[in-house]
Amino acid sequence: MHEDIETILLSEAQILQGIERVAAEVTRAYAGREFTVMSVLKGSCVFASDLIRRVPLRLELAFVAASSYRDGTTSGRLDVNYFPADGEIAGRELLLVDDILDTGRTMLALKNELVARGAASVRTCVFLDKPARRAVPLQADHSCFEIEDKFVVGYGLDFAGAYRNLPYLGVLRQAAIERRQAHQASRAAATGRA
């Protein structure tokens, strides 16, 4: 897997520094209040698990599942695949956590939906922010790193489902992108979805 990476943008040590800074911000923002960390699956599971262990407050953990990227590196349609029960939303102070704020459509749609379902408050927290690609007016309340407009993988972020388990953040080689696309196409053909 490591041989597929062209450049490492953030090492594990750099990532942890950014997370510690944001964990301290979150701790200050919610001091003395009970709140729920709502992790957007699948991409933010690695970030959320490192983040919550650095926030020494009484918090709950919930998940929402959304997918906006389909087998490619460009933004696709947003599907919300799983929403928590209203009991986990209504009247709660929520910290919505995602891997990356790209166009911002995913976070804005989820934030609006959570408010509509009666959340007491919704703050947003992302591992990465790609401001160059923003298509809707949304700024993260907390962000570990701002990056330029490049498609990145690792530390929870995937390309066509792979590379989430890389411990660092990197950019893929073109050959690896093409190989993965061919693999996805043959898998789709085999399952009759082509």
- The catalytic site residues sit at 102
| Rounded (5°) CA angle 118-79-120 | 15
d(Cα 82, Cα 90) in Å, to the nearest integer? 16
Q: Does 102 bind ligand IMP (CB under 6 A)?
A: yes
Q: State which H helix or E strand residue 27 sits in.
A: helix 12-29
d(Cα 72, Cα 151) in Å, to the nearest integer? 10
Question: Per-residue contact track with ligand IMP, 36 to 65, x per CB under 6 A?
Answer: -------x----------------------
Measured from the CB atom, is 34 or 178 closer to ligand IMP? 178
Identify which range of 18-26, 29-37, 80-88, 102-110 contacts ligand IMP by CB under 6 A.
102-110
Q: Does 106 bind ligand IMP (CB under 6 A)?
A: yes
CB 129 within 8 A of CB 3: no
CB 80 within 8 A of CB 65: yes
d(Cα 172, Cα 133) in Å, to the nearest integer? 19
Identify which range of 10-18, 51-59, 68-76, 88-96 contacts ligand IMP by CB under 6 A.
68-76
Neighbours of 78 (CB within 10 A): 15
H-only helix segments in 37-173: 45-52, 105-116
Neighbours of 140 (CB within 10 A): 23
- Number of residues in contact with Mg ion, rule: CB under 5 A? 2
Using the rule CB under 6 A, which residue among 21, 151, 162, 187 binds ligand IMP?
A: 151
Using the rule CB under 6 A, which residue among 26, 89, 94, 157 binds ligand IMP?
A: 157
Interaction partner, residue 151 (ligand IMP, Mg ion, none; CB < 5-8 Å by kind): ligand IMP
Site residues for Mg ion, 17-46, by CB under 5 A, read 43
Question: Per-residue contact track with Mg ion, 54 to 93, x per CB under 5 A?
Answer: ---------------x------------------------
125 - beta bridge partners? 97, 142
Q: Which residues bind Mg ion (CB under 5 A)?
A: 43, 69
